[in-house]
Structure 1
Amino acid sequence: MFTGIVEELGTVAAIEEQGDAIRLTIRATTVLEDAGLGDSIAVNGCCLTVAERTEDTWTADVMQETLDKTSLACIAPGDRVNLERAVTAHTRLGGHIVQGHVDGVGHVVRRSPSEHWEVVEIALPPELARYLVDKGSITVDGISLTVVEAGAESFTVSLIPETLARTTLGFRQPGDRVNLETDVIAKYVEKLLGGRAS
């Protein structure tokens, strides 16, 4: 489990193609301070497992299912990625409950800068729209954000300077793909109330 509070921007160091999978190596510092083999680290919101590590890199095996369902299929060496270690019992829950299980891929529609913040509109798959509400939570590339306006085909978020400086949303442009994870509590409530709304 994660909180959606990005700890650092890592850099993709290498990608080894394996046919139906890739081995992804990422250069980092903060998330490696106490990371061991088998630990979970979220990469742009995707929960991956540390399979190898050196002093300044770690490697994960990314299966075809993950490549099919996330934007990790589009990354390349040199790309910057959001990184967050899994929570511990002593971690502050600064964002919201994030599983690291991507529900779908959206894309940036537009950016509207202002003096002290920036509003970003993101398109989402229609089947995810029912889980979003104004002032609810959404995870975009692993970043816990508050929805400003929730629509049937897109939603908006307001980004403060800290988020713009410390995450990939500071440089994502219209058309760029982003991983989306909706609030797990909304999905459980829907199931408990009898399934999907028609």
Structure 2
Amino acid sequence: MLEDARVGDSIAVNGVCLTATTFGDGIFTADVMAETLDKTNLKELRPGSRVNLERALRLGDRLGGHMVSGHVDGIGTIVGLEKRDIATLVMVQAPDQVMKYIINKGSIAIDGTSLTVVSFQRDRFQVSLIPHTAHATVLGSKKVGETVNLEADLLGKYIERLLQGRGEQRENSQLNLQFLAANGFL
């Protein structure tokens, strides 16, 4: 995974985009700011902790998941694990700033792993792990009560901002109900 990596490359650790500062013997280091530790679960890692690692997407590569940037939107807590047939259902309690982007069959990144939302309630959502995902990612070894980094789909955040901007334009526009009434249109 690190064969052609260079200083300055972005490498996501449990879904948190970090900049590599040194390499050697199959390891790398990265600087981590207080802000990153405050907003993610990286502060809970200890030497030997298992983590998800992912290199940045290159233009022209296939996109096998959804659009995420490695900028965590919030920390969730695993509140339920259930085996169903070959799948493991994972229930995650999440803060409002993440839940507002959750939709059925929508996408969510959990510790950097792109997953599909199976269902959701006011303050929690559920995903289903196939055996490969459970084995190949840290999510498969997490227990109830453990925290996870959450990043909502980038598209939802852009749509939200676009709609906010349209609302601001209407408020600041000369064309409003008062203008229409004053000029005989209403």
User: Any unmatched runs of 5+ in structure 2?
Assistant: 166-186
The match for 1:119 among 71, 85, 89 is: 89
Paired position in structure 2 for 1:160: 130
Instruction: Write the letter of the residue equivalent to 1:76.
Output: R
Cα distance per residue 1:134-179 (max 9 Å; x no partner): 0000000000000001221000001001101100011100000000
Paired position in structure 2 for 1:70: 40
Equivalent-residue separation in structure 2 for 1:182 and 1:170 (angstroms): 20
Cα distance per residue 1:87-140 (max 9 Å; x no partner): 112311000111000000001001001221111100000232110100000000
Paired position in structure 2 for 1:133: 103
More strand by share: 1
Task: Count how many residue pairs are aligned between Structure 1 and Structure 2.
Answer: 166
Mapping for residues 1-198 of structure 1, pairs under 5 Å: 30=1, 32-194=2-164
Computing the radius of gyration over CA atoms, which structure comes out larger, 1 or 2?
2
* TM-score relative to the length of structure 2: 0.87
User: Any unmatched runs of 5+ in structure 1?
Assistant: 1-29
Q: Could you say what secondary structure the match of 2:30 adopts?
A: strand
- Following TM superposition, by how much is the alpha carbon of 1:194 offset from its aligned partner in structure 2, in angstroms? 1.8
More helix by share: 2
Cα distance per residue 1:47-106 (max 9 Å; x no partner): 001100003110000000000000001110010000000011231100011100000000
Structure with the bigger RCO (C-alpha within 8 Å, sep 6+) is 1
CA RMSD of aligned residues (A): 1.3
- Structure 1 residue runs of 4 or more that deviate by more than 2 Å after TM superposition: none
